[in-house]
Structure 1
Amino acid sequence: MTVDSGTGNMNGAVKASVRGQEGHGGLWESVKKAAFIIGSGLLLLAAFGNSLTWHLQRFWGASGDFWQNLWTKLYLKFEGHDAALFFLGTMLLPTLAFWVSNGLLLLVDMTGKPSFITRYRIQVDKNNPVDPAKLRHALQTVLFNQVFISGPMVVGIYYLMTWRGNPCGPELPTFHWGLMELAMCGIVEEIMFYYSHRLFHHPALYKHFHKQHHEWTAPIGVVSIYAHPLEHVLSNMLPAVMGPVLLGSHLATTSLWYCLALVSTTVSHCGYHLPLLPSPEFHDYHHLKFNQCYGVLGVLDRLHGTDAKFRQTKQYQRHIMLTSLTPLNESIPETPKKVQ
């Protein structure tokens, strides 16, 4: 009995050790994946930005730095009206980015055309087409959040950022420093969004606030900011705005970050796994199952084990960038159910 007990304890210890190694390995893999995504994005942005600047300079025959000259002209036009410049830069451009991307998606959601895009729908039996009454209600809430929540918050953020310096200064940040700030903003958003989002899933808060967002178990792009006003402030806005506030970012970087954040959350909610775009499988699964995949990059989910069920699914296998024209629900189909 003693030998059997010792063997059992030893086997248990070995299994626990293996599980621990798998957990650490899984976390490390998640960290490496996030670093790869961020690093690749920064490299692409750097290459694209430098190339675009060079071509624009040649096209217009501009001398010196094209973007700096463009900013200087804008800065002089708004001289003495920095608050107005900041408001337009952080509301007008991001709002345009949001509605242009969502306008294209809404055409597909409402009409089912072009039909080849519907082949990439993640939850193939949902929103085909989207419920018009449900959509109208969502649009009303989104517009309310943008006008009456985001707008006033941006005004307050301007005065908060002026304590750190002038966010509308005459000189733009260097291109590479801007990229570094974008990466830091992404990290801040991941931390703040994960914990605030998970907090709103607490039963005491969920039924009063976050349940509204989860009315869409199969999300579409525009519902990315379909939320209760309190949730919109604490879980949508704060994680996005705190990076530029902490870093004392220039308006140019702040505006670009807001645009990226809004387009990113649109893609995460769009319901289509389209070629060459970031995979929305992670957050789509969250809407489907509620208690998995709370973050953006997935690092904190791996750390806290809140993606364990997700990693056992076909959705996890499809959670990659699609580089072909074949939809992933065709190349990685669901396992056929066994006939009883």
Structure 2
Amino acid sequence: FRATNQHSTFPTLTCFAPTLLQQDTRGGLWDSVKKAAFVIGSGILFLAAFGNSLTWHLQKVWGASGDFWQKLWTRLYTTFEGHDQALFYFGAMLVPTVVFGGTNALLMIVDVTAKPSFITRYRIQQDKNNPVLAPPHQLFLSLPSTHLLLITLSSDEPVGEPCGPELPTFHWALIELGAFALLEELFFYYSHRLFHQPSLYKTYHKQHHEWTAPIGIVCIYAHPLEHMLSNMLPVALGPVLLGSHLSTTCLWYCLALVSTTVSHCGYHLPFLPSPEFHDFHHLRFNQCFGVLGILDRLHGTDSKFRGTKQYERHTLLTSLTPLTESIPTSPRKDSERRVAAVSLKSLRGSQYSSVNYGVRSIHTAR
């Protein structure tokens, strides 16, 4: 509300700016909390509905009855009887690896071939990675990091009875997943922001930001130290603190890996969580450090993001029309950027000419 003209008839609006800004901050934080609750709640409801539907279909096809998942777990538990550590490796390492590898294999085909074209229409940064032209060895630099993450996660000594014979109730598992998501937001935000400090960024975090337009396979491509403190710890902390059952831990690791893949994939696809938030972080570096956005709103590290088209597109896409088409970038802003660039170039050129003219004048005088 700062007056831009000394003859403005509304100079008194300036005195209300701090109050209005404070109200907007509080409202924005509450809005962010509500959005985070909506995301977590929707995910839990989806898992509940999907679990019930999947159970019904499996029982119908296989002729099973009673508690289907408990019987399935009992069979698996009996197979690994006396080898709890091997069962823990299987659930905490092998299954998440297969899920992560399968998801990224499909995305890699699209990234490298730019086909099918109907998927590339959903690319967020349309002028980049269409297709990906990076050398093949660079694309697979993240695989050792992925393997290291999963080995480290699964090599920890189990806490409590993660491989016990009884499965947790479905409702308790959903509550734990919600707690895991909140713990991840808390520890990932502050550890991630710490690695953006100048003293740490160049040595550790810059490796991850080599990709300003990220793709799925590089989602956990990072320096080993950052990988352990910022990628691994926020994800593993919840199951360790709560002493969660292996089934819940396995499901959480799979969800976390798919979630970070979607956040880095570069496509805003229908009916999948919006990756606009983290994609903007890779584009600008100093915005959008968290996962859910709660702490970013609290600390104001999403202020620039909220003034962009990416923020308008940061929603669940429920149609087949790409958001870059339904919410296009303003042509006026593009033209303003081009005019500003040309003006700056002209200004630099005129300054350079002036300097040259002065130098020639001095030489002439001499």
| TM-score relative to the length of structure 1 | 0.93
Q: Report the Cα distance in structure 2 between the residues aligned to 1:120 and 1:72, rounded to whole angstroms.
A: 43
Q: Report the Cα distance in structure 2 between the residues aligned to 1:146 and 1:306, rounded to whole angstroms.
A: 28
- Contact residue 138 and residue 226 of structure 1 kept, 8 A: no
Match of 1:79 in 2: 81
Alpha-carbon distance, 1:272 to partner: 0.4
Match of 2:29 in 1: 27
2:243 aligns with one of 230, 245, 248? 248
Alpha-carbon distance, 1:57 to partner: 1.5
Alignment of 1:13-162 (within 5 A): 14-133=16-135, 135-140=136-141, 142-156=142-156, 159=157, 161-162=158-159
Q: List per-residue Cα deviations over 1:164-201 (Å, max 9, x = no partner).
A: x2110000000010000011000000001000000000
Q: Report the Cα distance in structure 2 between the residues aligned to 1:150 and 1:45, rounded to whole angstroms.
A: 23
Deviant stretches of 4+, over 4 Å: 8-13
Report the secondary structure of 1:151's partner residue.
helix
Alignment of 1:238-317 (within 5 A): 238-317=233-312
Q: Which amino acid aligns with 1:307?
A: D
Q: Report the Cα distance in structure 2 between the residues aligned to 1:154 and 1:232, rounded to whole angstroms.
A: 15
Q: Report the Cα distance in structure 1 between the residues aligned to 2:66 and 2:208, rounded to whole angstroms.
A: 48
Alpha-carbon distance, 1:13 to partner: 5.1
Q: Report the Cα distance in structure 2 between the residues aligned to 1:21 and 1:168, rounded to whole angstroms.
A: 49
- Contact residue 93 and residue 153 of structure 2 kept, 8 A: no
Match of 1:197 in 2: 192
Match of 1:182 in 2: 177
Q: List per-residue Cα deviations over 1:16-40 (Å, max 9, x = no partner).
A: 1111111000000000011011111
- Contact residue 26 and residue 302 of structure 1 kept, 8 A: yes
Q: Which amino acid aligns with 1:93?
A: V
Alpha-carbon distance, 1:47 to partner: 1.4
Report the secondary structure of 2:219's partner residue.
helix
Q: Report the Cα distance in structure 1 between the residues aligned to 2:306 and 2:247, rounded to whole angstroms.
A: 38
Q: Report the Cα distance in structure 1 between the residues aligned to 2:236 and 2:310, rounded to whole angstroms.
A: 30
Q: Report the Cα distance in structure 1 between the residues aligned to 2:311 and 2:149, rounded to whole angstroms.
A: 35
RMSD between aligned residues: 1.6
Alpha-carbon distance, 1:45 to partner: 1.2
Match of 1:173 in 2: 168
Q: Which amino acid aligns with 1:251?
A: L
Alpha-carbon distance, 1:10 to partner: 8.3
Q: List per-residue Cα deviations over 1:269-318 (Å, max 9, x = no partner).
A: 00001111110000000000000000000010000000000000000000
Alpha-carbon distance, 1:52 to partner: 1.5
Q: List per-residue Cα deviations over 1:35-94 (Å, max 9, x = no partner).
A: 011111111211111122122122212121010000000000101110110011111111
Over the matched positions of the two proteins, sequence identity in percent amounts to 67
**Greater radius of gyration (CA):** 2
Q: Which amino acid aligns with 2:109?
A: L
Report the secondary structure of 2:335's partner residue.
coil
> Where do 5+ consecutive residues of structure 1 fail to align?
1-7
TM-aligned CA distance change 1:112 to 1:231, over 3 Å? same
Q: Report the Cα distance in structure 1 between the residues aligned to 2:121 and 2:143, rounded to whole angstroms.
A: 29
Match of 1:5 in 2: none
Alpha-carbon distance, 1:9 to partner: 12
Q: Report the Cα distance in structure 2 between the residues aligned to 1:52 and 1:118, rounded to whole angstroms.
A: 31
Q: Report the Cα distance in structure 2 between the residues aligned to 1:35 and 1:211, rounded to whole angstroms.
A: 32
| TM-score relative to the length of structure 2 | 0.86
- Contact residue 149 and residue 229 of structure 1 kept, 8 A: no
1:333 aligns with one of 328, 332, 348? 328
Q: Report the Cα distance in structure 2 between the residues aligned to 1:98 and 1:126, rounded to whole angstroms.
A: 24
Q: List per-residue Cα deviations over 1:236-284 (Å, max 9, x = no partner).
A: 1111000100111000000000000000000000000111111000000
TM-aligned CA distance change 1:21 to 1:93, over 3 Å? same
Alpha-carbon distance, 1:153 to partner: 4.0
Q: Report the Cα distance in structure 2 between the residues aligned to 1:150 and 1:205, rounded to whole angstroms.
A: 24
